[in-house]
């Protein structure tokens, strides 16, 4: 910890009293051992310098102190991080510092993103000790904890406090719980705020001819969709296939289509299971969700059935559609002139549309889907150092600095990323979009972050896709998926899945708990 607290307090006091400009303040803090990241974050924080330094600098500082201690003791001077391909850009800017100041070489092993989970499960068997830190999605934690391949981080979190749950700069609730905890214990530290939002072409929304025609046809003003009904109307209205411009680019392809269904399902106030982990998606709401999707199919991009995220983003960036449902990286794509030549400066985003519940009220719900995080391997030679790396990279300050770098998947996930962003963060996204992300994130429902989560998702995906291609009717597809779910639950053990499911459901946002009835679960 810093030995020169008095001098730092003196600088903070002078800055708050207006006796120093920003530049001198950052320089002075730097001379006193405060990192540039922290100093810059303090300058921009709306909390005031003293409070900001105490708060947001803490996790980084504590992690660094632990890293120094662990690095000095380490016999192996390499820290190996298993990461999905394409994510390295958020990490490479810090390798020099770790090498020069700690003597630790950061080595990254990239694997295709769909392989990372398998590699972790393989490590549980092989026990090679190759990886120190692993970067899976939140869905991997249950299986990885159960197989004993990663550490439970709870004790480290208590000791070094990464301030995961702080309402001002912690990870936004409920993702703070869904994407980091397994059965109430910390399994990993989130480093990627993967959630989906709707993007629309603002230039079309502001076109006077379209505004008039839309109002004439639908009886309300043209604007971003607030409900799924409005979303459908917009796709229908803007669909212009003769000019190769399509209503929406949302996915109908394998692997992605389940999220489109899950999103609509939760918008209707239905979760995936009931209290006893019986599947509930093969209900009236589930069938209605699939029927909504089928009704939208005529207004989709013709490649919707084969889109991957990159081909989807490219098509939207080329100006081939009015709306899209994207992860935050999709916004960055459509904002950058190189990847969004037709969309740069012409995009407006909104939270996921609401659906109307039986009582007539609107329910806003989002999907927190995918979301990478750092986990510490049980077979690491330096687990404390590995944890220190995870906490340092995900601290409010370093993460604020890391996210805007190009060539990585990291997107905003802490409250300060969205509510008190730095200039670079605002330039990478936009103040409006960051606010939209926050508003959406507070109502998110997680993936199947349960034991066997990937099996559940794949089973659902397969049947939803079969329905979209016309191979199965909605009811049949969902009943078939439910039967497979029951088999998976039996195989894993009902008690184990139930415990984990109830832990997830306990931390849902209140409106979703209430609408789904989960607020009455014991």
Partner 1 sequence: MPSRRLSPLLGLLLILALVVTLFPVFWIVMTALKPPTDWNAVPAVWIPAKPTLVNFRTLFDPEAIREYGVGGVSQSASAAVFGSLLASTVSTALSILIGLLAAIGLSRYSSGSTATPLIILSGRMFPPAAIAVPFVIIFSAAHIIDTYSGLIAIYVAATVPFSTWMLKSFVDDLPREIEEAAMVDGQSRLMAHLTVTMPLIRGGLFATTLFIFILNWSDFMFALVLSYGRIATIPVQLAKYVTATAGTLYGVQAALAVLAMIPLVLAGFAIQSHLARGMTFGAIKR
| Number of shown-chain residues binding partner 1 (CB under 8 A) | 41
Q: Give the nearer residue to partner 1 in terms of CB position, either 48 or 337.
A: 337
Strand partners of residue 137:
372
Q: Is 408 in the site for partner 1 (CB under 8 A)?
A: yes
Strand partners, 422: none
| Residue 152 binds partner 1 (CB under 8 A) | no
Minimum distance between the CB of residue 131 and partner 1, rounded to whole angstroms? Answer: 8
What tokens appear for 387 in the block?
Answer: 């944890």
Q: Which of 46, 93, 103, 112 binds partner 1 (CB under 8 A)?
A: 112
CB of residue 87 to partner 1, shortest distance in Å: 6
Number of Cβ within 10 Å of residue 202's Cβ equals 15
Q: Which is nearer to partner 1, 264 or 332 (CB)?
A: 332
Footprint of partner 1 on 426-485 (CB under 8 A): none
What whole-number distance in Å separates Cα of residue 151 and Cα of residue 135? Answer: 13
Q: What is the dihedral of CA 479, 269, 307, 174, to 10 degrees?
A: -120
CA 162 to chain centroid, in Å, comes to: 18
Contact status: 113 vs partner 1 (CB under 8 A): yes
Q: Find the binder of partner 1 among 60, 168, 194, 320 (CB under 8 A).
A: 320
318 belongs to the binding site for partner 1 (CB under 8 A)? yes
CA neighbor of 203 nearest in space, from 346, 57, 389, 380: 346
Nearer to partner 1, 59 or 247 (CB): 247
Nearer residue to partner 1 within complex by CB, 83 or 266: 83
Sheet with 189-190: strands ordered across: 105-111, 78-84, 133-134, 373-376, 189-190
- Minimum CB separation from partner 1 for residue 409, in Å? 5
Is 264 or 462 the residue whose CB approaches partner 1 more closely?
462
Q: Which is nearer to partner 1, 254 or 264 (CB)?
A: 254
For partner 1, the closer CB: 194 or 292: 194
Name which position in 314, 356, 476, 507 contacts partner 1 (CB under 8 A): 314
Do the bridges between strand 133-134 and strand 78-84 make them parallel or antiparallel, or are there none, so unpaired?
Answer: parallel
Determine how many CB atoms are found less than 10 A away from the CB of residue 288.
Answer: 17
Give the shortest CB-438-to-partner 1 separation in angstroms: 21
Using CA atoms, how far apart are residues 192 and 300, in angstroms rounded to an integer?
A: 28
Number of C-beta neighbours around residue 147 at 10 A: 16
Structure tokens at 289: 């969700």
* Of residues 116-135, those binding partner 1 (CB under 8 A): 119, 122, 125-128, 130-131
Site string for partner 1, 291-310 (x = CB under 8 A): -----------------xxx
What residues numbered 329-368 form the site for partner 1, per CB under 8 A?
Answer: 329, 332, 336, 338-339
* Residue whose pair of structure tokens reads 């989002």 in the numeric block: 366
| Residues 278/270, Cβ–Cβ less than 8 Å | no
Select from 15, 313, 370, 387 the one that contacts partner 1 (CB under 8 A).
313
Contact 445/423 with Cβ under 8 angstroms? Answer: no
What is the per-residue burial (b if ≥16 Cβ within 10 Å, else e) of 390-420?
Answer: bbbbbbbbbbbbbbbbeebbbbbbbbbbbbb
Closest distance of CB 35 from partner 1, Å? 24
Shortest distance, position 127 Cβ to partner 1, whole Å: 6
Q: Provide the minimum distance between the beta carbon of 89 and partner 1 in the complex, in angstroms, as a whole number.
A: 4
- Give the nearer residue to partner 1 in terms of CB position, either 225 or 317: 317
Radius of gyration (C-alpha) of the chain in whole angstroms: 24
Nearer to partner 1, 201 or 301 (CB): 301
CB 366 within 8 A of CB 440: yes
Cα(134)–Cα(80) distance, rounded to whole angstroms?
A: 8
Cβ pair 178, 441 in contact under 8 A: no
Q: Could you tell me the two tokens for 500?
A: 């984990």
517 binds partner 1, rule: CB under 8 A: no
Site string for partner 1, 80-109 (x = CB under 8 A): x----xxxxx--x--------------xxx
CB of 468 to partner 1, least distance (A): 23
Residues forming the site for partner 1 (CB under 8 A): 80, 85-89, 92, 107-113, 115, 119, 122, 125-128, 130-131, 308-311, 313-315, 318, 320, 329, 332, 336, 338-339, 406-409
């Amino acid at each position: 910890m810093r030995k020169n607290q008095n001098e730092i307090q003196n600088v903070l006091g002078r800055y708050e009293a207006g006796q120093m400009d920003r530049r001198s303040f950052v320089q002075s803090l730097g001379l006193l051992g405060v990192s540039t990241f922290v100093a810059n974050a303090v300058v921009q924080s709306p909390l005031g310098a003293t409070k900001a330094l105490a708060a947001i600098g803490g996790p980084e500082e504590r992690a660094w102190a632990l890293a120094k201690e662990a690095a000095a003791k380490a016999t192996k001077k390499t820290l190996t991080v298993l990461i999905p391909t394409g994510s390295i850009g958020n990490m490479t800017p810090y390798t020099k510092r770790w090498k020069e100041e700690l003597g630790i070489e950061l080595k990254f092993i990239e694997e295709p993103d769909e392989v990372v989970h398998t590699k972790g499960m393989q490590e549980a068997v092989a026990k090679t000790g190759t990886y120190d830190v692993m970067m899976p999605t939140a869905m991997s934690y249950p299986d990885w904890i159960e197989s004993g391949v990663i550490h439970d981080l709870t004790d480290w979190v208590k000791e070094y406090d990464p301030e995961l749950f702080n309402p001002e700069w912690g990870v936004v609730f409920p993702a703070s719980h869904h994407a980091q905890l397994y059965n109430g214990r910390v399994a990993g530290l989130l480093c990627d705020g993967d959630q989906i939002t709707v993007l629309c072409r603002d230039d079309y929304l502001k076109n006077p001819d379209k505004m008039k025609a839309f109002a004439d046809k639908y009886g309300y003003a043209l604007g971003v969709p607030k409900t799924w009904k409005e979303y459908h109307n917009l796709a229908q209205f803007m669909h212009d296939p003769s000019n190769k411009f399509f209503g929406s680019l949302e996915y109908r392809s394998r692997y992605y289509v389940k999220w489109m269904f899950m999103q609509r399902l939760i918008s209707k106030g239905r979760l995936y299971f009931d209290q006893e982990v019986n599947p509930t998606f093969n209900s009236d709401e589930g069938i209605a969700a699939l029927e909504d999707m089928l009704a939208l199919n005529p207004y989709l991009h013709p490649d919707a059935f084969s889109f991957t995220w990159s081909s989807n983003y490219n098509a939207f960036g080329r100006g081939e559609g009015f709306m899209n449902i994207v992860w935050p990286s999709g916004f960055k794509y459509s904002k950058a002139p190189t990847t969004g030549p037709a969309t740069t400066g012409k995009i407006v985003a909104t939270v996921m549309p609401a659906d109307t519940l039986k009582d007539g009220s609107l329910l806003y719900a989002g999907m927190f889907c995918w979301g990478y995080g750092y986990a510490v391997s049980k077979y690491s030679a330096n687990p404390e150092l590995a944890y220190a790396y995870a906490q340092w990279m995900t601290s409010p300050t370093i993460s604020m600095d890391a996210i805007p770098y190009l060539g990585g998947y990291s997107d905003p996930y802490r409250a300060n990323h969205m509510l008190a962003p730095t200039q670079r963060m605002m330039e990478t996204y936009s103040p409006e979009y960051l606010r939209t992300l926050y508003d959406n994130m507070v109502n998110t429902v997680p993936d199947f972050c349960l034991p066997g989560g990937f099996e559940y998702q794949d089973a659902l995906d397969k049947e939803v896709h079969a329905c979209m291609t016309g191979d199965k009717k909605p009811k049949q597809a969902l009943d078939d998926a439910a039967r497979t779910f029951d088999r998976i639950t039996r195989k894993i053990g009902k008690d184990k899945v139930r415990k984990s499911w109830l832990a997830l459901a306990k931390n849902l946002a209140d409106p979703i708990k209430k609408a789904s009835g989960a607020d009455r679960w014991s």
